[in-house]
Each structure stands twice: as C-alpha cells, then as structure tokens.
C-alpha cells in the first residue's frame, strides 16, 4: 500500500495544477490579509473564498485525476495487489497532496496573520473540506466509466453543496416560517459539509448574534465542546461514507 501511495504522491506533486492551486491560495490569502486593516475581517473574507474554492478545486481535480489514472489502475489490478489498497492509496495520495497544498497556500498565511483559535479552526475546517471533497470525487468517478459524465456529475455535486442546498433550505424556511424550525436547521446543517464548516467558523468568530434566534440555537448546540466534536464527527462521516461506497463499487467493477 505504501508503495502505490508513493507513486501516486510523486505523480500528483509533479502535476503543475496542484502547484498553481497552492500559489493561487497563497496569493489570495496574502492579499486578503494585506487589504483589510483588521486581520479578523481578512479571515472572514478568506472564509468565503475557501468555502467556494477549496471544494471546487478538490472535487474537479480529483475526478479528472482518477479518470486519467485508468491505465495505471488497470496495470495495478493485474498485479499481486489488493484492489482495496489500490483504491485507498489513490484516495490517500490525492487527499494528502491537496491537503498539503491547502496547508501551504492557506494555512501558513493564516498562521502568520491570525494565529488564534479561530485561525486554527479555519485550517482544520479547510483540511477537512479538502478530504471530504476528494472522497466525494472518488464516489462520482466510480459511478460511471464515461469521463464527461463523471466530471459533469462532480460539478453538479459541487453546485449542489455550494448553492442549491442553501437555496433549498431557504425555500423550506420560507414555506414553513410559521413553525419553529431552529432545531431542524441544526439537523439540516449536518447534510452539507460546507454548512458544517461555515457554522463552525462563524461561531468561533462570535458573530452568531447576527443570525438572530437561529444563531442562538446554533450557539447553544455547536458552541460547546460536544457540539464542536459532533460537527467534526459529521465531517468525518462525510469522508468515510462516500469513500466506503466508492470502494465497494470499485471492488465489484470490471476493468
């Protein structure tokens, strides 16, 4: 397993796209922190960029990478290797190299300009989102053999988690605005890893007061250690579940 992981890592790190992604993140983070007079404001701007950019790059890059490694996978499957270790190595290689890219591009500037608990939370959340979206990409790429369909599917998934889900929740809220939905909102937030990440950061920043009564419910649920732990368990399940599902499909797949 370690051997394959090594080849996948070397191959990805040689890829210029990951380098460009790192520099892009670095450029954005540094300029955001330098433009804003207050580093807390900078962190908030950075949050919005990270919540859009990180999932997008991770899911698209991983999907394309898996399709492009089809030859590599085919070669490995005919060798004395477990299918499971091939697939997990692919996931491990993608997740660790993209996490490294995020840590260098986003993590280091945050540590330089805003190294407090909010900053650490932001780095943790960014790393989790990276791995979650690699895992979702593995699932999307495992669903179909057609590259165009697979990439289309992963773009749709990104769109769903970034925009459509929130629109649906808003629609739901307006339809049922006569009912108390604060508790339901907490449950809904577990259905979307990006929302989980956003809520964690906003609560850390102590601007939940802006969110009214829902904010207070969020504060009550997520604001303590158990809530933080639960939301990280939620993010962890978002990594585990798509990965296991894709692994099951890969084990049954004909090559």
Partner 1 sequence: MITVRDLTKTFVKLKALNDISLSFQSGECIALLGPNGCGKTTLIKVILGMVVPDTGSIEFKGQSILGQWQYRNLIGYMPQIGRYPENMTIANVFEMMKDIRRDSRRILDEDLISSFNLNDLMHKKMHTLSGGTRQKVSAALAFLFNPDVLILDEPTAGLDPLASERLKEKIASEKEKGKLVLITSHVLSELDDLITEVCYMQEGQLAFHKKLDDLKAETGEDKLSKAIPQVLMSQSTLI
| Shortest separation between residue 15's beta carbon and partner 1, angstroms | 9
Candidate ranges 23-31, 74-82, 87-95, 232-240; the one touching partner 1 (CB under 8 A): 74-82
- For partner 1, the binding residue among 3, 41, 183, 248 (CB under 8 A) is 3
Q: Which is nearer to partner 1, 225 or 252 (CB)?
A: 252
Q: Which is nearer to partner 1, 8 or 110 (CB)?
A: 8
- For partner 1, the binding residue among 22, 29, 39, 69 (CB under 8 A) is 69
Among positions 77-96, residues that touch partner 1 (CB under 8 A) are 77-83
Per rule CB under 8 A, is residue 255 in the interface with partner 1? yes
| Shortest separation between residue 84's beta carbon and partner 1, angstroms | 9
Per rule CB under 8 A, is residue 71 in the interface with partner 1? yes
Per rule CB under 8 A, is residue 76 in the interface with partner 1? yes
Question: Do the Cβ atoms of 22 and 104 come closer than 8 Å?
Answer: yes
Give the total of residues touching partner 1 (CB under 8 A): 23
Per rule CB under 8 A, is residue 252 in the interface with partner 1? yes
Q: Where on the chain is the footprint of partner 1 (CB under 8 A)?
A: 3-4, 7, 11, 14, 69-72, 74-83, 252-255
């Amino acid at each position: 397993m370690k051997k394959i992981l090594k080849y996948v890592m070397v191959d990805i790190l040689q890829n210029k796209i990951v380098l460009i992604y790192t520099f892009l993140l670095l450029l954005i983070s540094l300029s955001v922190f330098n433009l804003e007079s207050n580093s807390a404001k900078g962190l908030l701007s950075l949050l919005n960029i990270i919540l859009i950019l990180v999932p997008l790059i991770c899911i698209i890059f991983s999907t394309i990478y898996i399709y492009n490694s089809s030859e590599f996978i085919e070669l490995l499957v005919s060798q004395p290797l477990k299918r499971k270790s091939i697939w997990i190595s692919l996931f491990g290689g993608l997740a660790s190299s993209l996490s490294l890219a995020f840590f260098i591009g986003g993590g280091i500037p945050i540590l330089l300009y805003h190294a407090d608990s909010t900053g650490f939370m932001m780095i943790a959340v960014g790393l989790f989102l990276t791995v979650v979206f690699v895992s979702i990409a593995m699932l999307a790429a495992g669903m179909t053999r057609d590259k165009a369909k697979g990439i289309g599917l992963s773009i749709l998934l990104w769109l769903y988690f970034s925009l459509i889900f929130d629109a649906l929740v808003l629609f739901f809220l307006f339809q049922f605005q006569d009912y108390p939905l604060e508790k339901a909102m907490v449950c809904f937030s577990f259905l979307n890893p990006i929302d989980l990440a956003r809520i964690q950061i906003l609560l850390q920043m102590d601007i939940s007061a802006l969110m009214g009564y829902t904010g207070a419910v969020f504060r009550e649920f997520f604001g303590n250690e158990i809530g933080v732990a639960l939301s990280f368990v939620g993010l962890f399940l978002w990594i585990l579940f798509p990965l296991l599902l894709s692994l099951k499909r890969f084990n049954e797949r004909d090559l």
